[in-house]
């Protein structure tokens, strides 16, 4: 068992699950989307990006790309959330919440691709 592989897979899967947890729920229901979950998803996504950086293989490059996409989408979602709460007077809901959730949905897709790559890599290694 390779501990580096465990840590790597752990973060990639955790990024997906957290992202999925946040995404799950009604598009316009603020009660279904927890801000702490979004925060955790962003932090884990950033860590998994750093873990993927510096791999010279072709697969490593695709890993990095999907991870960067997820980061970008999640950070955009966080910015929309923060802007609505602090700058515009209205409360989070309706259009702004829809934007946040759909952005995190995009990140979810990127994270799914990451996990598919991870699984296919694991399968291709025969022991």
Partner 1 sequence: MSNLLYILFRRLRSPLIVLIVVYAISVLGFVLIPGVDDQGNPWRMSFFHAFYFVSFMATTIGFGEIPYEFTDAQRFWALITMYATVVGWLYGIGVLLSVFQDSVFLNQMKTNSFSRRIKNIREPFYIICGYGDTGAQLARSLSREGILSVIIDLNAERMSDLEADDFLVPPLSLCADGSQSEILEMAGVIHPWCQGIVTIANDDTVNLTVAVVAQLLNPKLRLIARAETPEAEANILSFGANEVINPFETFASRLSLALQSPSLYCLYDWTTCAFGAKMNEPPIPASGKWIICGFGRFGSALYDHLDDSDVKLSIIESDRTRRDLPSGSIIGRPTEAPTLKKAGIEEAAGIIAGTDNDANNLSILLTASELKPDIFRIARQNEDKNSHLFQAAEFEMLMQRGSIVANTIFALIRTPMLGDFLRIVSRFKSDKAGEVVSRIIGVVEDDVPKLWEFKVTPEDAPALYETVQTRQVTVREIFQGETLHGSNHREKPLSAMPLFMKRDESNVLLPEDDRIIRAGDRFLMCGTQAAHRQMSNILSNINLLENILSGEEIPTGVFWRWLTGKTLLAKTTSETDITNSLE
Binding stretches for partner 1 (CB under 8 A): 35-36, 39, 43, 46-47, 50-51, 53-54, 56, 78, 82, 85-86
Rank residues 86 and 127 by Cβ distance to partner 1 and give the closer one: 86
Tokens of 14: 């955790």
Q: How far is the CB of 126 from partner 1 (least distance, A)?
A: 27
CB of 47 to partner 1, least distance (A): 6
- 35 or 112, CB closer to partner 1? 35
Taking the least distance from each CB to partner 1, the nearer of 24 and 43 is: 43
Residue 14 C-beta: closest distance to partner 1, Å? 13
- Element (H or E) spanning 19, and its range? helix 3-23
Q: Which long-range contacts (CB under 8 A, 24 or more apart) does 19-27 make?
A: 19/45, 19/70, 19/74, 19/104, 19/107, 19/108, 19/111, 20/108, 20/111, 22/104, 23/101, 23/104, 23/105, 23/108, 25/101, 27/97, 27/98, 27/101, 27/102
Q: Least Å distance between CB 127 and partner 1?
A: 26
Q: Closest CB to partner 1 among 79 and 119?
A: 79
């Amino acid at each position: 068992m390779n501990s580096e592989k465990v840590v790597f897979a752990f973060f990639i899967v955790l990024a997906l699950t957290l992202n999925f947890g946040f995404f799950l729920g009604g598009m316009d229901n603020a009660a279904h989307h927890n801000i702490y979950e979004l925060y955790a998803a962003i932090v884990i996504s950033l860590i998994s990006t750093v873990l993927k950086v510096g791999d010279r293989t072709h697969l490593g490059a695709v890993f990095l790309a999907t991870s960067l996409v997820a980061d970008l989408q999640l950070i955009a979602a966080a910015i929309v959330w923060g802007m609505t709460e602090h700058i515009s007077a209205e409360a989070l809901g309706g259009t702004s919440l829809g934007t946040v959730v759909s952005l995190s949905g995009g990140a979810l897709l990127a994270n799914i691709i990451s996990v598919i790559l991870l699984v296919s890599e694991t399968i291709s290694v025969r022991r």
